[in-house]
């Protein structure tokens, strides 16, 4: 996958995290970074991930559980709430609609008509 602009990654990260937690259940930050990399979103930094997870927690989409480490530091485990499941369903549907429009526009398959009879620049 080509490099993804950082603004796109930051904008799509919450939806990606919700989807990953829905399919994988409970997980912790480092594991989420690894899975995102395996999925094609490599290079994500902890400084980007943890604020996104914190915001999802503040918004009630995920809940956090702290677990002491086995001989090492403890970990925060994140899991989806029922509100997060609802949000995932709604935002995924919106994402798909946006993807359809952006793909059509960027792919040159959409002619914008500004006045009746205007062919949108198509000959």
pLDDT tens by residue, 31-79: 999 999 999 888 889 999 999 999 999 999 999 999 987 777 889 999 9
pLDDT band at 86 (very low <50, low <70, confident <90, very high): very high
Please tell me the predicted confidence (pLDDT) of residue 117.
59
Classify the phi-psi angles of 121: left when phi > 0, otherwise alpha if psi is within -120 to 50, otherwise beta.
Answer: left
Q: What is the CA radius of gyration of the chain?
A: 19
Q: Note the pTM of the prediction, 2 decimals.
A: 0.82
Instruction: Determine the Cα angle at 93 with ends 95 and 101, to 5°.
Output: 45
Please tell me the predicted confidence (pLDDT) of residue 91.
97
pLDDT band at 123 (very low <50, low <70, confident <90, very high): very low
């Amino acid at each position: 996958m080509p490099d993804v602009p950082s603004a796109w990654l930051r904008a799509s990260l919450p939806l990606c995290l919700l989807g990953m937690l829905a399919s994988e259940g409970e997980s912790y930050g480092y594991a989420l970074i690894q899975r995102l990399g395996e999925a094609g979103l490599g290079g994500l930094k902890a400084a980007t991930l943890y604020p996104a997870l914190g915001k999802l927690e503040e918004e009630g989409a995920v809940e956090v559980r702290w677990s002491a480490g086995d001989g090492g530091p403890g970990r925060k485990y994140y899991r989806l709430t029922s509100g997060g499941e609802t949000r995932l369903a709604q935002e995924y549907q919106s994402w798909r609609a946006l993807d359809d429009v952006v793909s059509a526009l960027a792919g040159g398959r959409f002619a914008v008509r500004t006045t009746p009879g205007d062919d949108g620049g198509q000959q």
